[in-house]
Structure 1
Amino acid sequence: MRISARADYAVRASLELAARTSCDGEPVKAEVLSDAQDIPHKFLEGILGDLRRGGIVASRRGGNGGYLLARPADAITVADVVRAVEGPIVSVRGERPSALAYTGPAEPLLPLWVALRANVRKILEGVTLDDIARDRLPAPVRELADDPAAWRNP
């Protein structure tokens, strides 16, 4: 599974909003987000549009305009952000695993893809922007990340 630059940037921009809007509630300009997280500005504008359409961020126009989280950071999961910019969390050839069918020796592959999808969803749906912004990852996620083998490529 690959996390695209688009998904990574979306999560980082959302985290920047979580950190900044929790302080004063003022909208944050895209340029500020872009500079703070080293995200190409034009690319970020498209991402912010997807996040707005996905109900993750709200935008305000005008001189004091910018972007805010559309709901509290503890009510937005990483899965919500990724889905807003990428669609389904795990797909195989662009299709949801439940839409696939295999035959013969490949038949057991379907439950493998479904299990992978379930585990990725379990992690991403179990971590909110607030968890990350406050450096309070849930214990199961910390335990997985604390395993030295998780940091090495086989």
Structure 2
Amino acid sequence: MRVSAKSDYALRALIAMAGRDDGRAVSAEELGRLQDIPHGFLQAILADMRRSGIVVSQRGQSGGWRLARTADAITVADVIRAVDGPLVSVYGLRPEAVAYNEQADVLQHVWIAARHALREVFEDVTIQQLADGTLPDTVLARTADEDAWQPH
């Protein structure tokens, strides 16, 4: 899986929002400055997340962006789906919708298994955990294996 800049930037912006002690809205300019995200790109990402119900925008003097739900109710999977679509797709289709001939049919099982593995991590990690710098034990266990850190 390739993590897109959109997903990375979206998660970083949400971590910054969740980490605010005052809970007030934060401007896109400030988010971009805090996380070194290009302003125009961030605006498009925030709009995607607004359409998905992850953030809300607030107009006015104290306007900006806020989480639409509590940070512990937003998962990494929610964010990736909001800005990039399904966690796994094959030619733009969901794995269960791809049709193969009899010889290659086994590939569909590989794509389904990969999606399931991604869900086990991405649906278990919340924005609150990221903002707090903590991760579930199941995720930490996956990083404890030295091989996980090695490029292949």
Give TM-score, length-normalised by structure 2: 0.96
Superposed CA deviations along residues 27-65 of structure 1, whole A, max 9, x for unmatched, are 001111001110001100000011111100011011210
1:70-85 matched pairs, under 5 angstroms = 70-85=68-83
More helix per residue: 1
- Deviation at residue 80 of structure 1 after TM alignment: 0.7
Structure 2 counterpart SS, 1:105? coil
The correspondence of residues 1-154 of structure 1 with structure 2, limited to 5 A, is 1-20=1-20, 23-154=21-152
What is the aligned-residue identity percentage? 52
Over the aligned positions, Cα root-mean-square deviation in angstroms equals 0.9
CA distance in structure 2 between the aligned counterparts of 1:134 and 1:146, rounded to whole angstroms: 20
Task: Report SS of the residue matched to 1:118.
Answer: helix
For structure 2, the 5+ residue unaligned runs are: none
Tell me how many residue pairs correspond in the alignment: 152
By how many angstroms is 1:122 displaced?
Answer: 1.7
Unmatched 5+ stretches in structure 1: none
SS at match of 1:106: coil
TM-score, normalised relative to structure 1:
0.95
